[in-house]
Structure 1
C-alpha cells in the first residue's frame, strides 16, 4: 500500500506543476497544444524515471563533492537519448518543442527528485517516484495544453471541435498560459481541501 501512496503522490498531493510549482519554463512555453504538452511530459517522464534509477544505483559510489555534477551528467545522458530519438522518430514534435528538450537537463523537477529522493532511497522506490512525478507532470502539461488549444483554436489533439475563427488568440499566446495555469492551480487547491 505504501508503494501505491508513493505512486499517486505525483498526481495531486505533490504534483510538480499544480502544487510544487516546479518546471514553469516548459509548462508555460510548450503547452500551446495538447500534443506538445503530452510530448514534453512523456520525454521528461522517461528522463525522470531513468535518472532516478541510475542515481539510486550509483549513490554510494559518488563522492559528496561531485554529487550534483554527477547527477547532471546522468540526466544529460538520458536527455540526449530522448532528443536523438525524437529527432529520428518524431521530427514534427521535435521541431515544435525545440529548445525545451535539451532544457530538461536543468529542469528542477528532474534534478530535485534525483537529489531529494533517488539519492536516499532504493531502486524500486526511486523508479516509482520518478514515474509518479513524471506522469503527474505529463498530466498537468497535457491538461494545460488541451485547454489552451481548445480555447485558442477550437481543437483538442489537433482535432477540430469548433471553427478556428471562434477561438481566442489570447489562449494560444503566453498570457493565456498564465491565465489557464492560475485557474488550474486554484482548482487543484480546491480539490485538495475538499
Structure 2
C-alpha cells in the first residue's frame, strides 16, 4: 500500500482550479479570450446561456480526454489530436442542441461550430490538461467554462433587458411604461448592436480591475 495520502477530490488546490476562473483568472475579462462570441450571441439571454453551457461541456471534456491521452501522444501530432477531440465534442453538442433546443440552435447558427476555434478551449488544453492529471484538468475545464459563461450571461442580461425590455422572452418592462402607451420609456435599440456588447465587456473589465488591485497596470 502506498504511503502517500490521496488528495481529496475538492481540496483547496482543486477548488482553486474550479473557482479561480470565475474572477481572479477569468478567461474573458482577465485573459481577454473568447471576446468574439461575447459580441455575437448575447443579444438575448437564452442563446447566451446555451452557448455558455456548450462551451463548458466542450472545455471540460476536451481537458479530461487530452489529460488521459497526454502521455501517449507524440508531440508532433499533438495539435491534430486536440483538434480531432474538440471537433468531435463540438459535433456531439451541436447534434444535442438540434435535437432538444432546435430554436436556440438556429439562433446560434454557425457559432456552435466555431466553438472549435475558441481560444479558451485550445488554451486550457495546451496550458493545463497536457501537464496535469484528469480530475484537476476536468475541474479546470468546468471552471473556465463557467467563467466564460458568467460574462456572457451578464452581457446578455443587460442587452436583452435594455434592448427589448424582456428577459428569456418574458416582458419585464411594463407595457404601460412605454411612450406608445402614454408612458416615458423607450427600448434602447443600440443595445442590440455588437459594439454595445464590447462596451459592456469593457465596463465589466474596468469594474473588475478597480476591485482587483493586483490586476492594475503599474
TM-score (norm 2): 0.86
Match of 2:121 in 1: 110
Of 20, 37, 57 in structure 2, the residue corresponding to residue 46 of structure 1 is 57
What is the Cα deviation at residue 163 of structure 1?
A: 5.0
What is the Cα deviation at residue 192 of structure 1?
A: 1.6
Of 133, 143, 146 in structure 2, the residue corresponding to residue 132 of structure 1 is 143
**1:95 aligned onto 2:115:** no
Match of 2:3 in 1: none
Please show how residues 152-191 of structure 1 align to structure 2 within 5 Å.
152-163=163-174, 166-191=186-211
Give the Cα separation in 1 of the matches to 2:169 and 2:51. 16
Give the Cα separation in 1 of the matches to 2:174 and 2:120. 37
Moved over 6 A (4+): none
Please show how residues 63-102 of structure 1 align to structure 2 within 5 Å.
63-102=74-113
Match of 1:27 in 2: 38
Give the Cα separation in 2 of the matches to 1:5 and 1:62. 28
Q: Show structure 1 runs of 5+ residues with no match.
A: none
TM-score (norm 1): 0.96
Give the Cα separation in 1 of the matches to 2:196 and 2:123. 28
Give the Cα separation in 2 of the matches to 1:147 and 1:56. 37
> How much is the aligned-residue C-alpha RMSD, in angstroms?
1.3
> Tell me, what secondary structure is at the counterpart of 2:72?
coil
What is the Cα deviation at residue 6 of structure 1?
A: 1.6
